[in-house]
Chain A
Amino acid sequence: MGLTKRKEIKSIDKDERKQKRDFEGLVSQLSNLDPQVRRWAVKDLSEFGHEASSILSKQLLEEADKSVREAILTSMLHIADPTAVETLVQCLRSENASLRNEAIEVLKNLPDQVAPLMSNLLHDKDGDVRIFAVNILETLRHPKVEDLLIEVIEKDPNVNVCATAVELLAEVGTEQSLPALRRLKDRFPEEPYILFAVDLALKRIQGG
């Protein structure tokens, strides 16, 4: 017993998979009952790029195993075409909280693709989707983030959406946000959290 080294190492381990890796073969493996087979199929399909985007999108919405979903999300981040982005946005409406949060994390890493969609997301009829959109803005390194947040706190009727936006403005806001923040207090005079959050944001922006 002790430290050991295998003598025949040329490759560390032979590839253990024996199934077909052409496009159709990989697509059919997405229905395999073993999550590991599905995960490897996703990783191989990812190398087909845009061609695999639709099929991976469909799989993401149906996939129950977290490890397979994670592989799909990484692939979509890699492919980053309109189909992939549209599917990720669609996940924001999912009842599955894990999928929703996973999609938000990926969207945060696609600033150029997501920025043009932000305006629509921030005007979505579903308040939760608008909150998720503000969450995405949090790390979306994009020059228009502050403008978009100002628009939210000036126009959005939902107090929770505005509160989320104010929290973010406290971190990224500049002097430009001050008038809109002050006006927000007038829009929600009965909401103590808004009054508190706005005061905090004003203090941080003016102090920093």
Chain B
Amino acid sequence: MILAPNVTMSISEEDFQKFREFFYRKTGIRFEDTKRYFVDKRLIDRMQATGFADFRSYFNFMRFQANGEEMQQLINIMTVNETYFFREEHQLKCLALSILPEVVKKKPAGSLIRIWSIPSSSGEEPYSIAIYLLEYCPLVQEWDIEIIGSDIDTGMLQKAKEGIYSPRSVQHIPPSLLKKYFRKLSEDRYQISEELRRCIEFTRVNLNDSTDTKQYRNFDVIFCRNLLIYFDDLSRRQAADVFYDALLPGGYILLGHSESMSRISPLFKVCKFPEAIVYKKPEGMTP
């Protein structure tokens, strides 16, 4: 279907509600009424890109498309991916200086330390973790550490694998580390070293889909920063359940500065380290 250029598309209130409910069921992300413009604009962009003149036809196409490609496109444009290297650096410091030393106390020698970064967006967080550990955590010399970055947005995962960033994204990295771990491609593009790109696995995960999340187990540390604020209460509880099952007993989870696990789930214990407050899965659950 080819649209005439002057066709004006719009999303009615009913369409918006219908889409909002559908998107919530699929992703756990609920758009408030204040996000109406944000959602409408992106829906219209996708309707134009796929050649549908009305919401109903587009919605049916998207819902029943066998390969789910259009749904993934929508997820990619509806999710927020603003981040940068060394964001909330005190938490990285906490990982290197306090959390990992605690983790290895109870780990058999030679076993693997596993860290999950979700949502990893375009890779800034897992790469920051890697750089921080290599630079400031002596345990890296003695233990194998695996970092996995996961996101629902396949476009962001591709960007993470490519590892190319703007000056704004890398502005908080000390110049010596920028030089050490990045290659300057041009005035406004830095690429993270191939060695680091090879070290981190990036995977697509929908936290709201148990088929995806059941595979994620045996982590020592989870970073989930600034995601739960987009979820409603039920989705937050479900996410907390996923993290509980993904962590080893005694494992830690770090949230964004405005998020609190204590308000979501009673299963985790608050841990106050000198650098940050984090949450811990107890070694053994009691009634």
Q: Which residues of A are in contact with B by a Cβ distance under 8 Å? A: 1-6, 9, 11-16, 35, 39-40, 43, 47, 64-67, 70-71, 73-74, 77-78, 98, 102, 109
Q: CA separation between A15 and B233, bound complex, in Å?
A: 27
Q: Point out which of A13, A73, A98 has the most chain B C-beta atoms below 10 A from its C-beta.
A: A13
Q: Which residue on A lies nearest to B217, using beta carbons?
A: A13
Q: Which residue on B lies nearest to A78, using beta carbons?
A: B234
* Contact present for B217 and A67 (CB under 8 Å): no
Q: Which residue on B lies nearest to A36, using beta carbons?
A: B245
A-B contacts counted at CB < 8 A amount to 88
* Contact present for B198 and A70 (CB under 8 Å): no
Q: CA separation between A9 and B199, bound complex, in Å?
A: 12
- Decide yes or no: A13 and B215 within 8 Å by CB, A2-B144, A3-B145, A4-B146 being known contacts: yes
Residues of A within 8 A of B266 (CB): 66, 70, 98, 102
* Contact present for A47 and B199 (CB under 8 Å): no
Q: Which residue on B lies nearest to A15, using beta carbons?
A: B214
Q: CA separation between A109 and B234, bound complex, in Å?
A: 8
Residues of B within 8 A of A64 (CB): 287
Of B133, B198, B265, which contacts A5 at CB under 8 A?
B198
Residues of A within 8 A of B267 (CB): 66-67, 70
* Contact present for A3 and B285 (CB under 8 Å): no
Residues of B within 8 A of A16 (CB): 217
Q: CA separation between A194 and B244, bound complex, in Å?
A: 43
Shortest beta-carbon distance from A3 to chain B in Å: 4
Number of B residues near A (Cβ < 8 Å) is 38
Q: CA separation between A87 and B140, bound complex, in Å?
A: 50
* Contact present for A39 and B245 (CB under 8 Å): yes
10 further contact pairs, Cβ within 8 A, besides A5-B146, A15-B215, A74-B238: A3-B147, A4-B112, A4-B144, A6-B201, A16-B217, A67-B244, A70-B266, A70-B267, A74-B237, A109-B233
| B76 close to chain A: CB less than 8 A | no
* Contact present for A74 and B241 (CB under 8 Å): yes
* Contact present for B215 and A5 (CB under 8 Å): no
Q: Which residue on B lies nearest to A108, using beta carbons?
A: B233
Secondary structure class of chain A's binding surface, majority of residues: mixed
| B11 close to chain A: CB less than 8 A | no
Shortest beta-carbon distance from B243 to chain A in Å: 12
Q: CA separation between A47 and B133, bound complex, in Å?
A: 40
Q: CA separation between A65 and B267, bound complex, in Å?
A: 11
Residues of B within 8 A of A47 (CB): 210
| B143 close to chain A: CB less than 8 A | yes
Q: Which 6 A-B pairs have the closest CB atoms?
A: A3-B199, A67-B285, A4-B144, A74-B237, A109-B233, A13-B217
Residues of B within 8 A of A3 (CB): 130, 133-134, 140, 144-147, 196, 199-200
Q: CA separation between A98 and B241, bound complex, in Å?
A: 18
Q: CA separation between A40 and B214, bound complex, in Å?
A: 10
Q: List 10 A-B contacts (CB under 8 A).
A: A1-B143, A2-B144, A3-B147, A4-B145, A5-B200, A6-B146, A12-B148, A13-B218, A39-B245, A77-B233
Shortest beta-carbon distance from B123 to chain A in Å: 14
Of B134, B144, B146, B210, which contacts A43 at CB under 8 A?
B210
Residues of B within 8 A of A73 (CB): 237
| B6 close to chain A: CB less than 8 A | no
* Contact present for B203 and A65 (CB under 8 Å): no
Residues of A within 8 A of B217 (CB): 12-13, 16
Of A9, A11, A66, which contacts B285 at CB under 8 A?
A66
Q: CA separation between A67 and B237, bound complex, in Å?
A: 12
Interface string of B142-160 (1 = CB under 8 A from A): 1111111000000000000
Interface string of B227-263 (1 = CB under 8 A from A): 0000001100110010011000000000000000000
Q: CA separation between A39 and B216, bound complex, in Å?
A: 16
| B141 close to chain A: CB less than 8 A | yes
Residues of B within 8 A of A102 (CB): 266
Residues of B within 8 A of A1 (CB): 140-144
Residues of A within 8 A of B60 (CB): none
- Decide yes or no: A12 and B203 within 8 Å by CB, A3-B145, A66-B285 being known contacts: yes
Q: Which residue on A lies nearest to B233, using beta carbons?
A: A109
* Contact present for B234 and A2 (CB under 8 Å): no
Q: CA separation between A71 and B214, bound complex, in Å?
A: 14
| B12 close to chain A: CB less than 8 A | no
Residues of A within 8 A of B265 (CB): 70
Shortest beta-carbon distance from B202 to chain A in Å: 10
Q: CA separation between A74 and B147, bound complex, in Å?
A: 29
Residues of B within 8 A of A40 (CB): 245
